[in-house]
């Protein structure tokens, strides 16, 4: 793809706006695109029919702060240093906001940040805003808001209180930003808390009346097969939150249409991680299973294609360079992801056949996800909160996703599958090294053989 020099008149005339619609803790199978029959996402499904559904999209770390750091930088959590919650994004990180700002974009951030450490839940110091010019956010929105009580903080750190449902408030703030008169294209990152649980009471607070719409809901097969957890109590509220997010998305799409900007805007819809409703551990994510890792991802915009169902495996680190290249903005060399633009244009015939996942807080782990297999390792002797990595791991998970898509049977100790496991070990080690980590040792679970 030919990129005009930054600042040239011809480049500026062609550059699209860029909007990221970012949800929190949303499973991929909440969408009609992925077979959910509840009618929760008609707007998103329509955007996909006009654009690209990234059908196999995965977070590179299933917890809030690390995944958010990756989506701002195109780097793995161990590269950014934000490998768990409570850590601050480095102030010199190569972020989307800085890249778009240097290319002449008006940059804005609205909503949940979660990248200014744990010293504040509300205002974020300017030096910790990753280069965004317009700011209306809270570091930990889950602690400065409730379903119908929302406080965000502006560029000066002053609080702004909003009436109405929280997702509606953020949507209205985004429309106000979009409607501003400007000479430059805009890049806006809109970050919701929905459909994340409300921490203060461990509930999924849908808009008034919305939970009732989804009583007796369709249940994803992994949840019904595993039993336990709290999905039976919370799935109606969770679905109600997803539905309202789609309605907010519809308002924003209408605002872009009204301004004549829809077809000149690159839209990315994605989420930071999924939700297993306490069926895999004692909370909601932080596991190697697709319920934690797989998220809905849709791209729409000029030059990206229409009605595309992309089958390749895509990581969060691939999305920032994709946005930049789609807008004709140079991609910082420090970004570790791979732009989807050449793939969508038939110019990349060597796309990786797996994604790498890092796990923290619940365990120090690594996983490899291919179309057929899920292979994971863990380091039981490491501190899952303080240790970003390990020198030595051991086999922990092996799932045949073709035969067992719900990941119900761990095959890691099955003798007949040891050749498969050994091949996956080699691939995982290669991906760990490629991500910038030291080469680890992985020990087999059934014998003393070691690959290093």
Give the start-end residues of each E strand in 274-388: 294-295, 298-300, 308-315, 355-359, 365-369, 373-378
Across the strands, what pairs with 392?
A: 441
Kindly indicate the confidence band of residue 7, based on its pLDDT and cuts at 50, 70 and 90. Answer: very low
Interior CA angle at 154 toward 150 and 155, to 5°? 160
User: Mean pLDDT for the chain?
Assistant: 94
Judged by average pLDDT, the poorest of 2-6, 150-154, 320-324 is: 2-6
Q: What local confidence, expressed as pLDDT, does residue 10 receive?
A: 42
Q: What pLDDT, on a 0 to 100 scale, did the predictor assign at position 452?
A: 37
Q: Which has the closest alpha carbon to 334: 94, 81, 100?
A: 94
pLDDT of residue 4 exceeding 70, the answer is no
Per-residue pLDDT tens over the stretch 22-40:
999 999 999 999 999 999 9
Residue 186 has pLDDT above 90, yes or no: yes
pLDDT of res. 449 = 42
Separation in Å, CA 200 to CA 1, 115, 122, 196: 48, 20, 16, 12
pLDDT value, residue 14:
67
- pTM of this structure: 0.95
pLDDT at 118: 85
CB atoms within 10 A of CB 218: 15
In angstroms, rounded to a whole number, what is the distance separating the alpha carbons of residues 311 and 106? 33
**Confidence class for position 227, pLDDT limits 50, 70, 90:** confident
Tell me what the mean pLDDT of segment 362-368 comes to: 97
- Confidence at residue 288, expressed as pLDDT on a 0 to 100 scale: 96
Contact (CB, 8 A) for 328 and 342: no
Is residue 316 pLDDT above 70, yes or no?
yes
In the structure, what pLDDT confidence band is assigned to residue 447 with cuts at 50, 70 and 90? very low
Amino acid 390: pLDDT = 97
Residue range 118-141: mean pLDDT, rounded: 95
Q: Which CATH fold topology does 15-344 show?
A: Alkaline Phosphatase, subunit A (3.40.720)
Indicate the burial class of 158 (C-beta count within 10 angstroms; 0-12, 13-18, 19 or more).
Answer: exposed
CA angle 60, 62, 68 (to 5 degrees): 70
pLDDT band at 172 (very low <50, low <70, confident <90, very high): very high
User: How much is the average pLDDT of 6-16?
Assistant: 55
pLDDT mean over 347-369: 96
Q: Is the pLDDT of residue 445 over 80?
A: no
Q: Give the residue-averaged pLDDT of 173-202.
A: 96
Average pLDDT over residues 297-326: 97
**Residues contacting 92, CB < 8 A, separation 6+:** none
The torsion of the CA quartet 128, 171, 204, 143, rounded to 10 degrees, works out to 30
Residue boundaries of the structural domains of the chain: 15-344, 363-451
Mean pLDDT across 281-285: 91
pLDDT value of position 295: 98
Please give the backbone phi and psi of residue 412, each rounded to the nearest 5 degrees, phi first: -60, -25
Peptide bond into 195 cis (omega under 30): yes
Q: Which of 94-98, 168-172, 226-230, 435-439 shows the lowest per-residue confidence on average (mean pLDDT)?
A: 226-230
For 189-218, how does the pLDDT look when each residue is reduced to its tens digit (9 = 90+)?
Answer: 999 999 999 988 899 999 999 999 999 999
Q: What is the pLDDT of residues 78-87, one digit of tens each?
A: 999 999 999 9
pLDDT at 242 over 90: yes
pLDDT, position 451: 45
Pick the CATH number of 363-451 from 3.40.109.10, 3.40.30.10, 3.40.50.1820, 3.30.1120.10: 3.30.1120.10
């Amino acid at each position: 793809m030919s990129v005009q020099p930054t600042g040239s008149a011809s480049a500026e005339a062609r550059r699209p706006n860029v909007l990221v619609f970012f949800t929190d803790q949303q499973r991929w199978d909440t969408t009609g695109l992925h077979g959910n029959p509840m009618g929760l996402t008609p707007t998103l499904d329509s955007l996909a029919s006009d654009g690209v559904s990234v059908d196999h999209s995965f977070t590179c770390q299933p917890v809030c702060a690390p995944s958010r750091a990756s989506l701002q930088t195109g780097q793995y959590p161990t590269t950014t240093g934000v490998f768990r919650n409570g850590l601050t994004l480095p102030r010199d990180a190569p972020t989307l906001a800085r890249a778009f700002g240097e290319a002449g974009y008006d940059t804005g951030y609205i909503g949940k940040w979660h990248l200014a450490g744990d010293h504040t839940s509300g205002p974020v110091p300017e030096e910790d805003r990753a280069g965004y010019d317009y700011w209306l956010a809270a570091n930990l929105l889950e602690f400065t808001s409730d379903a119908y009580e929302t406080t965000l903080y502006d560029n000066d750190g002053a609080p702004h209180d909003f009436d109405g449902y929280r997702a509606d408030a953020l949507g209205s703030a985004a429309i106000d930003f979009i409607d501003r008169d400007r000479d430059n294209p805009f890049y806006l990152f809109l970050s919701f808390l929905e459909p994340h649980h409300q921490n203060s009471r461990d509930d999924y607070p849908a808009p008034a009346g919305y939970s009732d719409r989804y009583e007796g809901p369709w249940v994803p097969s992994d949840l019904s097969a595993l039993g336990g957890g709290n999905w039976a109590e919370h799935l109606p509220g969770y679905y109600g939150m997803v539905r309202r997010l789609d309605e907010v998305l519809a308002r924003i799409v209408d605002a872009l249409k009204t301004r004549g900007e829809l077809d000149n805007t690159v839209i990315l819809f994605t989420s930071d991680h999924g939700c297993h409703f306490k069926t895999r551990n004692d909370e909601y994510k932080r596991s190697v299973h697709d319920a934690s890792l797989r998220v809905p991802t849709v791209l729409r915009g000029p030059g990206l294609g229409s009605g595309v169902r992309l089958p390749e495996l895509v990581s969060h680190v691939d999305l920032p360079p994709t946005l930049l290249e789609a807008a004709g903005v140079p991609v910082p060399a420090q970004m570790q992801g791979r732009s989807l633009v050449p793939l969508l244009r038939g110019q990349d015939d060597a796309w990786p056949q797996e994604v790498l996942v890092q796990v923290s807080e619940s365990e120090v782990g690594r996983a490899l996800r291919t179309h057929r297999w899920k292979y994971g390792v863990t380091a039981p002797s490491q501190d899952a909160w303080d240790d970003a990595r390990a020198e030595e791991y051991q086999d922990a998970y092996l799932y045949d996703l073709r035969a067992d898509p719900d990941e119900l049977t761990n095959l890691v100790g099955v003798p007949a599958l040891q050749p498969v496991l050994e091949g996956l070990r080699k691939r995982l080690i290669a991906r760990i090294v490629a991500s910038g980590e030291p080469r680890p040792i992985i020990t087999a679970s059934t014998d003393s053989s070691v690959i290093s």
